A and B are shown apart, each in its own frame.
Chain A
Amino acid sequence: MTPVPRGDVRISGVGMHPFGRFEGLTGTDMGVAAVRSALDEAGIGARQVQAAFCGTAYGGVAAGHRVLGALAGTGIPIVDVEAGCASGGAALQLGTASIASGQYDRVLVFGLEKMPKGVIRSSFFAPWQEAAGLSPAPAYFALRAQRLLLDAGLTRQHLAQVVVKNRRNGVDNPDAMFRTPVTVEEVLAARMICDPLTLFMLCSPNEGAAALVLERGGDGSGDGIRVAGISLRSHLPGNVLGEDSPLCGIEDSSITSPTELAATDAYEQAGLGPSDVDVVECQDTDSGRELLAWAELGLCGAGDQARLLADGSTLIGGPIPVNPSGGLLSKGEPLGASALGQVVEIVRQLRGTVTDRQVPGARVGLSHVIGRGANACVTILTR
């Protein structure tokens, strides 16, 4: 299931509305801000794109139309896309394919969200499951983290180290919600939400927006960042701990995860492998989820996460920095915007324009989201 990038698809402009909590601002307001920034960077107006793809999970009917409407940019096809935590990735795959296939020369891809506060409520679960107490999202994350600890020989200390790394990176990110560093001791002493996950080990659902302008390459300008690979995949059945949150599962050691499926596609499209990647933004809904992704993306072998934590490999300055933006643990997670927020970070890292947390000399970047559905999306960008 490998094909997507055939034509040369470039990112010519990116924009963000910071992730956080913004009383008085609507999702549309934040979407407009991010889209205007991306259009400005690309040097065009809203009427100069041929189609728009908007990722959102809680944005309601015609969320993308409201943003384009506010910018007098309607009239073009506007497609709203929901794929849980991977909604922005799904929008980017559609946008990329629409250019690669020759349908359009320039499109807008954006994501926005204004999440309710507290534990995420998802229409994914049947009402009886909710009433029976069988829909506690953090408990599913906790069980997955527990299994990871058992399988990979990890401890709570390792889970805390991921939080320390990401929160340290987030200090220097003006778009992040949490910009104070934390220590391992503070992370472990924070309120227990679901054993082994403490409050600091879980990301916060919040608000924000991110946007990209995609253009057909090959005009000689050559200064855009190239979408070298992108794949959105759903789950194969059978894993009782999968992000599709099934009520049952079978022996699952040979079941390929949606992240592995998407990563295999994206690497193949790009003609690259994990050792070629210079910088990664990956899904850290909780700190265990990030450690699982390291292995699923091929950054290390299963069970090798402790070594990477010990030798600092995934710190900025290490051989494979992960979540230099601070990750969702620092930024929070506005579902429809989170995937594109990662892509914005990777674009800026590859351009070399990030202040204080630049990964030196990065030429290949990878972003990864995984969540409800299950849906996983892996994007590989090159310069």
Chain B
Amino acid sequence: MDGDRITLLGGWSPSSGLRHFPRAVVCPFTGADDVEAVDLPRSGTVLLHTEVVLAPPGYFGPVPYGFGVVELDGSPPLRIVTRLQGDDIHPGARVVLAAEEVPDADGNPLATWVFRS
């Protein structure tokens, strides 16, 4: 996190050739035990999206909010579940990573991320 600019920290396994998020002890897809830290791309493409209208249990931020799956740039594909913001969210829309704050149970700000169109 550097001011408003944030980066998602993921993992990369050279032997499986796959990235993942968040970084895990072994490659979550193959079990390969050679995971290295990697900064994930800050842009991607919306695959699917919906809107959360009812606040899920344990969430104290505003509703409604966008929610969906983004395929990050780079290869092979890495898809992540994320909040989404913007007027132009649709399958195929280009989005970029941004910092986001939501209140926790005590009203204190919790740093998280969002992808914006």
Residues in A lying within 8 Å of B, measured CB to CB: 118-119, 121, 125, 127-128, 130-139, 142-143, 146-147, 150, 192-196, 237-238, 240-241, 245-251
Is the Cβ of A136 less than 8 Å from the Cβ of B56?
Answer: yes
Interface centre among A130, A237, A248, A251 (most CB of B within 10 A): A248
Could you say which of B21, B29, B102 contacts A132, with CB atoms under 8 Å apart? B102
B112 CB to nearest chain A CB (Å): 4
**Contact at A246–B81, with CB atoms within 8 Å?**
yes
Instruction: Summarize A's interface: helix, strand, loop or mixed.
Output: loop
Closest to B20 in A: A248
Q: B10 — which chain A residues lie within 8 A by C-beta?
A: 248
In the complex, residue of chain A having the shortest beta-carbon distance to the beta carbon of B112: A132
Nearest-neighbour CB distance to chain B for A137, whole angstroms, equals: 7
A195 contact from B51, B102, B105, Cβ within 8 A: B51
* Chain A residues with CB under 8 A of B104: 131
Cβ-neighbour of B59 out of A133, A245, A249 (below 8 A): A133
Residues of A within 8 Å of B41, CB to CB, are none
> What is the distance, in angstroms, from B1's C-beta to the closest C-beta of chain A?
15
Residue from A125, A146, A195, A247 in contact with B80 in the complex, judged by beta carbons closer than 8 Å: A247
For window 45-94 of B, CB contacts with A under 8 Å fall at: 48-61, 65, 67-69, 76-83, 91
Q: Which residues of the other chain, A, contact B29 by a CB distance below 8 angstroms?
A: 237-238, 250
Q: A237-B29, A248-B80 are in contact. Are A136 and B67 (CB under 8 A)?
A: yes
Say how far B89's CB is from chain A's closest CB, in angstroms: 11
- The reply to whether B79 and A249 form a contact with Cβ atoms under 8 Å apart is yes
Chain B residues contacting A139 (CB-CB under 8 Å) are 50, 52, 56, 67
Given A131-B102, A143-B48; A247-B21 close (CB under 8 Å): yes
Q: Which residue of B lies closest to A236 (CB)?
A: B29
With A and B bound together, what is the CA distance between A55 and B76 in angstroms? 40
Residue of A nearest to B22 (CB): A247
Contacts A237-B29, A251-B76; A133 near B61 (Cβ below 8 A): yes
Q: Is the CB of A248 within 8 A of B81?
A: yes
B103's closest neighbor in chain A, by CB?
A: A131
> Do B56 and A119 have beta carbons less than 8 Å apart?
yes
**Do B80 and A131 touch across chains, with their CB atoms under 8 A apart?**
no
Q: Across the interface, which residues of A come within 8 angstroms of B76, CB to CB? A: 250-251
Closest to B57 in A: A121
List 16 other contacts, CB 8 Å, given A132-B83, A139-B56, A240-B81.
A121-B58, A127-B58, A131-B104, A131-B105, A131-B110, A132-B110, A132-B112, A136-B59, A137-B56, A143-B69, A146-B48, A146-B50, A193-B54, A194-B51, A250-B29, A250-B78
Q: List 5 A-B contacts (CB under 8 A).
A: A133-B55, A133-B61, A146-B48, A193-B54, A194-B53
Complex contact A135–B58 (CB within 8 A): yes
Q: Which residues of A are found within 8 Å of B83, using beta-carbon distances?
A: 132-134
Q: Which residues of B contact A241 (CB under 8 A)?
A: 48, 69
A121 CB to nearest B CB, Å = 4
Name which residue of chain A comes closest to B21, CB basis: A248
Given A119-B54, A131-B59, the answer on whether A147 and B48 have CB atoms closer than 8 Å is: yes
B18 at the interface (CB under 8 A from A): yes
- Closest residue of chain A to B16 (Cβ to Cβ) is A250
Q: Which chain B residues border A132 with CB–CB below 8 Å?
A: 59, 83, 102, 110, 112
Q: Are A237 and B59 in contact (CB under 8 A)?
A: no
Known: A247-B80, A248-B81. A133 touches B53 (CB 8 A): no
Residues in A with CB closer than 8 Å to B65 are 133
Cβ-defined contact, B21 with A192, below 8 A: no
A-side contacts of B67, CB under 8 Å: 133, 136, 139, 143, 194
Q: Which residues of B contact A138 (CB under 8 A)?
A: 52, 54
Q: Are A133 and B56 in contact (CB under 8 A)?
A: yes
- Residue in B68, B69, B77, B102 whose CB lies within 8 Å of A133: B102
Q: Among the listed B18, B59, B61, B80, which residue makes an inter-chain contact with A240, where contact means beta carbons less than 8 Å apart?
A: B80
* B65 to chain A: closest residue by CB: A133
* Contact pick for B110, options A128, A146, A237, CB 8 Å: A128
Q: How far is the CB of B69 from chain A (nearest CB, A)?
A: 6
Complex: chain A residue closest to B77, CB-CB: A251
Q: How far is the CA of A199 from the CA of B105 in the complex (A)?
A: 27
Say yes or no: B50 contacts A131, CB within 8 Å: no
Give Cα distance in the complex from A78 to B18, angstroms. 44
Residues of the B chain whose Cβ atoms lie less than 8 Å from the Cβ of A195: 50-51
Interface centre among A118, A136, A146, A245 (most CB of B within 10 A): A136
